[in-house]
Amino acid sequence: MQIGLFGINFGVITTPESMVQVAKTAEDAGFDSVWTGEHVVLPDPRIPPSPSEPRTSFFDPLAALAFLAAHTSRLRLGTGIIILPQRNPLVLAKELATVDVLSRGRLIFGLGVGYLEPEFRALGAPFEDRGAVTDESIEVLKALWTMEKPAHRGRFFSFSGIDAFPRPAQKPHPPVVIGGRSRHAALRAARVGNGWYGFFTGVEQTKQITGWIRSHIAAGERPLELGELEISVTPPPGPLTEETIHQYEDLGVHRLVPWFDASTVDDLVRFVETTGALTEK
Q: Is it the case that residue 280 has pLDDT exceeding 90? A: no
Half-sphere exposure of 4 (CA within 13 A, CB side): 26
Are residues 234 and 253 in contact, defined by beta-carbon separation less than 8 angstroms? Answer: no
At 239 the pLDDT is: 80
Q: What is the tally of structural domains in the chain?
A: 1
Q: For residue 279, name the pLDDT band (cuts at 50, 70, 90).
A: confident
Q: Above 80 in pLDDT, residue 281?
A: no
CB 12 within 8 A of CB 263: yes
Reported confidence tier of residue 278, pLDDT bands at 50, 70, 90: confident
CA distances from 86 to 14, 89, 118, 132, 139 (A): 24, 9, 12, 12, 16
Distance of CA 221 to CAs 77, 211, 225, Å?
A: 28, 14, 12
Helix and strand element counts for the chain (H, E): 9, 11
Summarised one tens digit per residue, pLDDT across range 228-271 is 999 999 999 988 899 999 999 999 999 999 999 999 999 999 99
d(Cα 131, Cα 114) in Å, to the nearest integer? 9
Global confidence as pTM: 0.97
The range of the structural domain enclosing residue 249 comes to 2-279
pLDDT digits (tens, 9 = 90+) for 204-214: 999 999 999 99
Predicted local distance difference test score (pLDDT) of residue 25: 98
Mean pLDDT throughout 77-81? 98
Backbone angles phi, psi at 91, to 5 degrees: -65, -45
Looking up residue 23, the CATH number of its domain turns out to be 3.20.20.30
Q: Using one digit for the tens of pLDDT, what is the confidence trace for 95-148?
A: 999 999 999 999 999 999 999 999 999 999 999 999 999 999 999 999 999 999
Classify 112 as helix, strand or coil: strand
Q: pLDDT tens digits, residue range 15-26?
A: 999 999 999 999
Q: Are 80 and 36 in contact (CB under 8 A)?
A: yes
Q: What is the average pLDDT across 172-201?
A: 98
In this prediction, residue 88 carries a pLDDT of 98
CB proximity list for 243: less than 8 A, separation 6 or greater: none
CB 270 within 8 A of CB 12: no
Residue 36 has pLDDT above 80, yes or no: yes
State how beta strands 33-36 and 76-79 pair: parallel
Name, in order, each residue with C-beta under 8 angstroms of 65's C-beta and a sequence gap of 6 or more: 36, 77, 79, 99, 103, 107
